Every structure is written in structure tokens, then in C-alpha cells.
Structure 1
Amino acid sequence: MQTTICQEKRLGDNPRITILNTEIDVLNVNETIALVEKYVQTKTPLHLMGVNADKINEVNQNAKMREIVNSCGVINADGASVILASKYLKKPLPERVAGVDLMQSLVALSEEKGYSIYLLGAKQKVVEETSEVLKKRHPNLKVAGIHNGYFKENDWPDISAELKDKKPDIVFVGITSPTKEYLIEYLQSEGNNAVFMGVGGSFDVISGNIPRAPLWVQRANLEWLFRVMQEPRRLFKRYFVGNWKFIAAIIKEKHHGKAEENE
């Protein structure tokens, strides 16, 4: 199915930096939440993007992904390595905006303000458990609907029809990249004006099926290592090989910038 890239309207006036051909908003967590709420209130479509080293590597290998990421209305740094790289390149970002934490903050906001959410992704059991956990934590939360992530591309029109019927304010999408990004762009092109946020494995964490790294591990910027230890076969190449590739590219960009300054 052809993916139409939606050039989104930017409602924020915050600056952006560019790291390895990837635009990133200079936003902290609270600023991000306030900005996302503007999109919800004005019914302005938003692909809320979080980038880490793996996503930036993909941006530099996949032209379509680069176009999708850089067209998003809000692009957060969801990776300690991206924050460290921004400081190394002398264009520091304020803090990591972790996807699982941002999702839970937006869920809390939704309960407080009466916004509705939709959960799309993961196994049926996991997405059901995620919905139940969130409703127990937030009794007044409006869950417009849930759908597992086990569907094919020819099912996308049905997903779109379901969302148009339910009209959620925020859709959390927990499926793998790059299908996740292609799906969100398709749903937007079909006229779904929600805030769409890719949340990776957040459903597994919230439902309790995969433990979150202890707080001290998160603060030490080692949450990625904790995740590798949980799923070494799936994540070893992404993090160890991918992180070294990212580091090498950052060093090259730093030297390239110095060379330009000396010209």
C-alpha cells in the first residue's frame, strides 16, 4: 500500500537541532506534554515521534523513514545516547523524553481532561491487560477501543474505519518499525486527526509482561543494557552493533563540523 507522507503543521515555536540528518525538538517532558495537548485541543493531526540511536541509524539508511521523521510535528529524543551526542556536538538537548513515561503522562492527562485513547498493537492478551491496568490506575479514563498488532497491510483500511468510528484523541501504537511509521502515515492520510504516538514495547511494560529497568539503571543511562539482557537474541545487534555505528557517525559529524569551521 502506498505510503503518503504527511507534512504536519507545527504548533510549537521551540527550536530544533539536527543530528545525523535527523531533526529533533528542543523540548523537555513537560513542554512536550503541553505542546501535545495543543494538538489534541485543536484536533490537529500529529505523529508524535521519538528517536533513539537505532531510529537515527534507520533514518540514514531509509529515505522514506527520513522523510517521515523530519515531517513530524513533534520529534523527541527518546534515548540517552541521543542526549549525550547532542552535548558532544555542542547543541545540547534538555533531557531524554522516554516513550513509556510520556505515554503514561499523556494517559494521566487524558483522564484529567476527558480525552479518549485507543491502544493499537502487541498480542491480544497484552493489549487487553494494558487497557485493564490503565483503567485501574485511572478510573475515569476513556478507552475508546483496543486492537492487537497482528494484522496485515490489507487490513489497514479496516483499522482506519475503526478509528474514524471511535474518534479517539490519542492513539498509542505498539508495533515494530518501520511498519509502525508507515501505518501511522497511512492513517493520517485517510483523515484520522488524532495524535498518533509510537510506543514500542510500552504495552509489555505497562501490562507487567516485561519489567522496567530499576530507577538507578535509568538514571545511569543503562536502560538499553537492561533491555538487551531481557531479550539478547532480538536486541543484541540493534544495541551493540547499532550503538557503535551511531557513535562512529557522531564522531565523523563532529570532525566534519570542525573542518567546516576551519575553512
Structure 2
Amino acid sequence: MADSLIQTPADDRRAHARPAFRQARRDDERVRLLGQSVDLVRPEEVLLHLARHVREGRRTVIANHNLHSLHLVRKTAEMRAFYAATDLVQVDSRPLLWFARILGLSARPFHRCTYLDWRDRFWSLADREGWRVMAVGGAPGVGETAARRLGARHPQANIRTHHGYFDATPGSAETTAVLAEVAAFRPHVLFVGMGMPRQEAWIVHNLERLPDCAILSVGAAFDYEAGVQAAAPRWTGRVGLEWAYRLMRDPRRLFVRYCVEPWSLVPAALQDLRAARGRRGASAAHSGRH
């Protein structure tokens, strides 16, 4: 499908949903890295953005970028369309933040941000506010286990799940049934965790049929909550070694992602470095004149 055909459906909704955050964003929060826009925000800022949209009953799409997604966005039209539809893009990569610092951008360690970094605060908030939270993804039974565990700790959060093993083709009978279930539940927050790029394609193809809520692509989030996957220790993310931990645990699946795909980003990285050098030269020349 052509990019234009994928990108057009959500334009009116995005125009309505974005202004509050875009107007509040500092000039140095949204930056360009490796050809894509990301937001240098803390976990608590993500939750503030999410909570504001829930409170106001407005839709927002929250995503994240890492080296894998930056590779896929160059190869997949649906991924490009998905990121065009987002309002907030977290940086889920310490090496990406290191590269941002090399470019002279205001990236800091606390800007590393993904579900695992804010999940405890999120569920406490969902419990306090009595949010309806729905998760689509994972193998049959995984979501139910995750919901049961989360519900035991956060009983005021209303949690519904649906597995990700259905025909996600746009317009398919199974997708239509899932969308009807989501619409009937009327979630405040919708997590979609079917892996990249399937989850992003499903969201962007069905965005106009999803209710006005906070929509997040979250990968294996509910697998972690159910205990069927072990999350990397958070210290590995803080020191930039989460990828190595995951690679050692699952080398067959992740070798290409971590050891091959990043090389496709070298041309974009060189372009960013040239642009940064140009900015520094222009700044030095300006300072010299004054």
C-alpha cells in the first residue's frame, strides 16, 4: 500500500489530539535523530501527557524509538505512517541517547523511557483513578495471567485483555471482532503489544476505528507482567547493556537485530554528524563576530 493511502485516515484526529502537548513542549524536547523525531522526556512526563489526555477524553498515540524501530521505519510503509501519527515518541535506547549527546543535543540518562521504566507509577495511577485499561497482544492466556497479577495489586484498575493471535489483516473478521470488543470496553488506555512492526501496522490501519483514548505500542509488556518473559535488570538499561543481556538470553532471535540492523543506520548517523559539525561551526563564527 502506498504511503499516502496509509497516512491519510488519521489526519483530522491528530490535528485535534496534538496541540496541548506540542504547545507545552520546550524547544529542546523534540529533536531529530537518525532521520526521525523523538522526544527527550522523563518517565513522569510521559505519564503527565497520558493522564492529561485521559482526563480530557482526547486521543493520543505514544510510541518509542530504538535502533530496531529506526531500522524498520526505513523499510516499512506502515511504520512510517505510524510514527507520523504519534504525539509522543520516547527514546528507548541508551546508545541512542549517547549519540544525541555527541550531536550536542540536551539528552540525559533520565530520558531513557519505556514501559518498564514507568509501569509501576502507571499502574498506581490507573488504580487511583479507576482507569479502564485494555491490552491487545501476547499468546492466549498470557493477558489473563498478567491481568490477574496486576489486578491483585491494583484492584481499582479495570483490566481487560485480548490475545494477539488473530488475523490482523485490515478488515478481517477477527480484527473487526477485536475492534468491537475494544469499543465496547471503552478503555481509557489501550496497550498494543504484538511486536514490531505488526503492532504499529495494526494501530495505524485501525486508528479511526479505535476509541478516543491513550494508545501505546508496548511490545512484550504483558509478557513481562505475566512472567513468561524475564525483563532485563533495569541497571543494564542505565549502563547501556540491556541489548547485551537480551542477546545472551536469546541469541538466535536477536542476533540480526542487535548485530546487523544497526549498520543500516550508519549513513543517517554520518549525516547527523555532518549537520552537528555545521551547527558548531556556525555557532563559533557567530561568537567570533561578537
TM-score where L is the length of structure 2: 0.83
In the other structure, the counterpart of 1:150 is 165
Equivalent of residue 109 in structure 1, options 125, 132, 152: 125
Q: Is the 8 A contact 2:94 2:238 kept in 1?
A: no
In the other structure, the counterpart of 2:112 is 96
In the other structure, the counterpart of 2:66 is 52
What does residue range 70-89 of structure 1 map to in structure 2 within 5 Å?
70-89=84-103
What does residue range 98-247 of structure 1 map to in structure 2 within 5 Å?
98-143=114-159, 145-152=160-167, 153=169, 154=172, 155-246=174-265
Q: Distance in 1 between matches of 2:119 and 2:203?
A: 16
Compared with structure 1, are the counterparts of its residues 230 and 64 closer, same or farther at alpha carbon in structure 2 (3 Å cutoff)?
Answer: same
RMSD of equivalent CA atoms: 2.2
Shift, 1:165, TM fit: 0.6
Q: Distance in 2 between matches of 1:4 and 1:105?
A: 33
In the other structure, the counterpart of 2:273 is 254
Please state whether the residue corresponding to 1:50 is helix, strand or coil.
Answer: strand
Gaps of 5+ in 1: none
Aligned residue pair count: 262
Shift, 1:247, TM fit: 5.2
Please state if 1:41 is matched with 2:55.
yes
Shift, 1:175, TM fit: 0.1
Q: Is the 8 A contact 2:81 2:204 kept in 1?
A: no
Q: Which has the larger radius of gyration?
A: 2
In the other structure, the counterpart of 2:35 is 21
Compared with structure 1, are the counterparts of its residues 262 and 62 closer, same or farther at alpha carbon in structure 2 (3 Å cutoff)?
Answer: farther
Compared with structure 1, are the counterparts of its residues 186 and 104 closer, same or farther at alpha carbon in structure 2 (3 Å cutoff)?
Answer: farther
Shift, 1:139, TM fit: 2.1
Q: Is the 8 A contact 2:149 2:226 kept in 1?
A: yes
Please state whether the residue corresponding to 2:141 is helix, strand or coil.
Answer: helix
Q: Distance in 1 between matches of 2:210 and 2:223?
A: 29
Shift, 1:161, TM fit: 0.9
Q: Distance in 2 between matches of 1:180 and 1:105?
A: 24
Q: Distance in 2 between matches of 1:132 and 1:107?
A: 13
Once the two structures are overlaid, the 10-residue window that deviates more, 226-235 or 1-10, is 1-10
TM-score where L is the length of structure 1: 0.90
Compared with structure 1, are the counterparts of its residues 86 and 131 closer, same or farther at alpha carbon in structure 2 (3 Å cutoff)?
Answer: same
Shift, 1:97, TM fit: 0.5
Amino acid at match of 1:195: A
Structure 1 moving runs of 4+ over 3 Å: 1-5, 244-249, 259-263
Q: Distance in 2 between matches of 1:35 and 1:216?
A: 26
Q: Distance in 2 between matches of 1:249 and 1:150?
A: 35
